[in-house]
Structure 1
Amino acid sequence: MTDPSATFLLFGATGDLAHRMIFPSLYNLLADGLLPEDFMIVASGRTEMDDEAFRADIDKALQKFLGADRYDADVATRLRAIIFYQPVEAGNAAQFRKLAKRLDGRAERGLSVYLSTPPSLFAPTAQGLAEAGLITPTTRIAMEKPIGKDLASSKEVNNGIGALFDESQIFRVDHYLGKETVQNLLALRFGNVMFEPLWNATAIDHVQITVGETVGLEGRVSYYDGVGALRDMVQNHVLQILSIIAMEPPARMDPTAVRDEKVKALRSLRPLTAETVKANSVRGQYTPGAVGGEIVTGYADELGKPSDTETFVALKAHIDNWRWQGVPFYLRTGKRMPARQSEIQIQFKPVRHSIFGRDGHGSGLEPNTLIIRLQPEEFIQLLIMSKRPGLERDVRLEEVTLDVSLTAAFAGQRRRIAYERLILDLLAGDQTLFVRRDEVEAQWTWIDSIIDGWKEAGIKPSPYAAGNWGPSSAIALIERDGASWHD
């Protein structure tokens, strides 16, 4: 499967994700000459409309989400010319037959199907494609998260798709893997000789991963309540970042080798129990407060009723293998945080013996810290100790920052939408940045242990005012180990 797909079939084309991310990404790929020759985009949704009406709708979305500096009328005209709309509803065989007629003769040249729909529609949509004769050895299918709501339901979803597609044809999307800085973790670890020898329990004290959102429900009421931060963010984005940080060096940069090592790390996560979950997890739910100087309502007010769904979670995780034994991984994510921030902090251990400081005076030494910011701005900072300038006989040390701003370092290059990378890899059949079935199931196995522990221990969400980094118990989670969150 090396030839790029000649056709991109998008289900859920009238939805928010398609308008905000997928079509702007296709526009950018077309503008840069990266789409195959004679490329065709077939958009599908339940709404009845013709090609021209849908094209006009997409043109408005491009002007809104690309911005005036990026939108070019000529490129937009070229994109509209290759977009076709076909209304299709899961379970409607007649509509699938019309879709197949529209794609007549193109499926054999490679068809990439993108499911931007609720997971409950994945299997019925795939079944409709099969009955219409649109699944061939060159058909690829991509699925947006969530893949189920627990291990059992994820297996149902995967079994439904797996009955019709080989695993080599299935592309499970986690858009964080399309981010430049997440991919840069691989380059940082395995492309620089100074990091890998220190990337273990001998030199690292602990690791922090923070994914903070300033938004609340934002129109996701029907999806989010009953799902919560653990399933919505930790199960996929946070654990994917963790797996890249924790994985062993793959033999080569290919889909099998990289994902083999990621799944080993995920399977090494120590399950939580009803006892350990009390000390190693925090659930929170935001109440009224202020974010960015704006007064916002609480979760229950937005929802319109009381709820036990958590909007914040903090976890202390352990990876039980040779490399990471004894190194805690502190994970936190939440809504209505003070800042939209995705960040990794690698906290190194202090030097074993300090030669600085005499006559009982402290050395002023701080352990080295590596900070990798994923969003909104992208940078890598290394905090090191340096001599303070001066003529004092006692050497005075201060912490200084070696700062690499990826935005500044690559100032001449446009920052890519994560979906550009993922769509391009889907069309080419490269699965490296997509999630394999055993990864999904390893993630759910660990998440299920936490959910079961919460139920058994009767742990309910603690309130926190919007605009704060979660409940005070989240601070205690890390500070009782002598560390603190990097805010």
Structure 2
Amino acid sequence: MTDGTLLDTPSRLLGSPAAGSRRVASFDYVVVGGTGDLTFRKLLPALYYSHSEGLIDGKSRIIGASRSELSGDDYRTRVVESLKRFLPASDYDEDTVASFVRRIDYVATDATDPDGWRNLAAFLGEDDTKVRVFYLATSPDLFGPICQRLKEAGLVSPLARVVLEKPIGRDLKTALEINRQVGAVFEESAIYRIDHYLGKETVQNLLALRFANALFEPVWNSRYIDHIQITVAETVGLEGRGGYYNRSGALRDMVQNHLLQMLCLVAMEPPSHLENEGVRDEKLKVLRALDPICGQDVIHRTVRGQYRAGAINGQAVPGYLDEPGIEGESNTETFVGLRAEVHNWRWAGMPFYIRTGKRLPVKASEVVIQFRPVPHSIFPGYGNDKLQPNKLVVRVQPNEGMHLHLMTKEPGPGGLRLREAVLNLSFSDTFKQRFPDAYERLLMDVVRGNPTLFMRRDEVEAAWRWCEPILDGWEEYSVKPKPYMAGSWGPSAAVAMIERDGRSWHDDAAVGR
């Protein structure tokens, strides 16, 4: 390691303004599971961008920790290779990379060995004035044991924090046990349960859209909104995670965390403030107000699906049962559709339609706010059935932005002709700057001690309390995943579920474009 002053180089590749007061306090960021895919694909690139923008001071260090016997130089070589692979070529700057890797080191640490933490303790030293972050990019069943080892090795300093990757358990029982074990070592204020969807710019913009604009909040309720749709579509399959995914499935992997968190931000009441626990308190109220889907309700209000062989963008892809890591038959769902309701004064009687799946035709995440039709048409020849209700589409990814669908008059003489037009707010066109990855914001928020975009213990447990009856109902009533062709929008039952209510999914063919 070199002198800290050599590390603190300003950004040349991004053209960012000086960090100024945004710079975080000195820290040691220990990534347990430092040789894993998440570390190289997401965490290190995110820290690289924060370094390049001048957010990290010269005394801060990044330490990879795993069982692999590597030297610091070996690890730094891997880091450089991964940055070349996962960064856009335009963002890879040789000088910035060189200064970044000088703050990186590696300590071989066996998470399961009681004596495996001594080298890490010796490396970190006894400096209690620096923020010390332990990012556990490991299997959830190791969260509790690792925290206990950290305590035994004397590594839990007054400014120590721990970051837990999702999923937090695979059901309510295991989630409660993980929270108990981690909570026995760290105070709740020092535990950061990360959901990277909450770090996405457009997801955060839901708060700004609702609470920084007087236009929407008065009509943000079941009196004016007919229904809300939340879609997270993926084109990818298992990406080498067959063993994990076959034990998990779409409900555990996506609905219990990502989609419920997005639903909370859409449905929550205005918090009195953004600091401290305001946002998380309101999200918890939404989770507790969700109408349970129990017993035979799972047959009518949920859809399970599993993809078969098909084609995406003209390229043939295998079916789920033919993916590497999947052996024999499997009832794991790769698609989930749900009809949820929030039982409170704002949303009573109004449905939320949720769907997520793998091997769908496009990669897209969006929230659709479908307003009610006008009560009476005054336009000759235009009954209410010809007037399209207003619709607000919040595009989370890709092509981040917001689209407001309105009825307007077509220009020209010869009568009054109406058509639907779209007011388009494209974030890339409006702000003309690089959109940071979700992890960039979240990793630095941990150092700042800002828990707003992280899940609290009671949030995780409330989400599991709502999801677990669905899992139990699928098992009790033998609800098998319905097949759907890769490249389609999931099982036909998902279409039937929403059409029974006289509604339809938003522009399936156009989602993500």
Give the TM bin, normalised by the shorter chain.
Answer: over 0.9
Q: Which residue of 1 aligns with 2:499?
A: 479
Q: Which residue of 1 aligns with 2:371?
A: 348
Call closer, same or farther: CA 1:121–1:319 in 2, change over 3 Å: same
Which stretch of the first structure deviates more once superposed, 455-464 or 309-318? 455-464
Deviations 1:107-148 (A, max 9, x none): 442201111111011111111110110102210110100100
Q: Work out whether 1:144 is the aligned partner of 2:165.
A: yes
Output the amino acid matched with 2:445: D
Q: Work out whether 1:154 is the aligned partner of 2:175.
A: yes
Match of 1:173 among 194, 197, 205: 194
Displacement of 1:277: 1.1
Query: How far apart are the structure 2 equivalents of 1:109 and 1:26?
Result: 17
Match of 1:470 among 486, 490, 505: 490
Q: Work out whether 1:197 is the aligned partner of 2:218.
A: yes
Displacement of 1:89: 1.0
Displacement of 1:353: 1.4
Match of 1:222 among 215, 237, 243: 243
Query: How far apart are the structure 2 equivalents of 1:276 and 1:483?
Result: 19
Indicate the SS of the match to 2:359: coil
Output the amino acid matched with 1:35: I
Q: Which residue of 1 aligns with 2:329?
A: 306
Q: Which residue of 2 aligns with 1:233?
A: 254
Matches within 5 A, 1:426-441: 426-441=446-461
Structure 1 runs of 4+ off > 6 angstroms? 360-363
Call closer, same or farther: CA 1:53–1:74 in 2, change over 3 Å: same
Q: Work out whether 1:378 is the aligned partner of 2:400.
A: yes
Match of 2:342 among 319, 340, 365: 319
- Could you tell me which runs of 5 or more consecutive residues in structure 2 were left unpaired when the two chains were aligned: 1-22, 509-513
Q: Which residue of 1 aligns with 2:7?
A: none
Call closer, same or farther: CA 1:91–1:301 in 2, change over 3 Å: closer
Output the amino acid matched with 2:235: T
Query: How far apart are the structure 1 equivalents of 2:310 and 2:329?
Result: 17
Q: Which residue of 1 aligns with 2:318?
A: 297
Which stretch of the first structure deviates more once superposed, 85-94 or 208-217? 85-94
Match of 2:413 among 391, 394, 397: 391
Query: How far apart are the structure 2 equivalents of 1:165 and 1:5?
Result: 20
Which stretch of the first structure deviates more once superposed, 235-244 or 450-459? 450-459
Match of 1:461 among 481, 486, 491: 481
Displacement of 1:363: 7.0
Indicate the SS of the match to 1:19: helix
Is the 1:174–1:236 contact (alpha carbons within 8 Å) kept by the matching residues of 2? Answer: yes
Highest RCO, 1 vs 2 (Cα 8 Å, sep ≥ 6): 1
Displacement of 1:304: 3.2
Query: How far apart are the structure 2 equivalents of 1:46 and 1:243?
Result: 38
Is the 1:7–1:106 contact (alpha carbons within 8 Å) kept by the matching residues of 2? Answer: no
Is the 1:356–1:363 contact (alpha carbons within 8 Å) kept by the matching residues of 2? Answer: no
Is the 1:364–1:397 contact (alpha carbons within 8 Å) kept by the matching residues of 2? Answer: no
Give RMSD over aligned pairs.
1.3
Is the 2:377–2:384 contact (alpha carbons within 8 Å) kept by the matching residues of 1? Answer: no
* TM-score, with length taken from structure 1: 0.97
Is the 1:5–1:112 contact (alpha carbons within 8 Å) kept by the matching residues of 2? Answer: no
Displacement of 1:426: 0.6
Output the amino acid matched with 1:349: R
Query: How far apart are the structure 1 equivalents of 2:457 and 2:377?
Result: 48
Q: Which residue of 2 aligns with 1:283?
A: 304
Q: Which residue of 2 aligns with 1:243?
A: 264
Is the 2:373–2:384 contact (alpha carbons within 8 Å) kept by the matching residues of 1? Answer: no
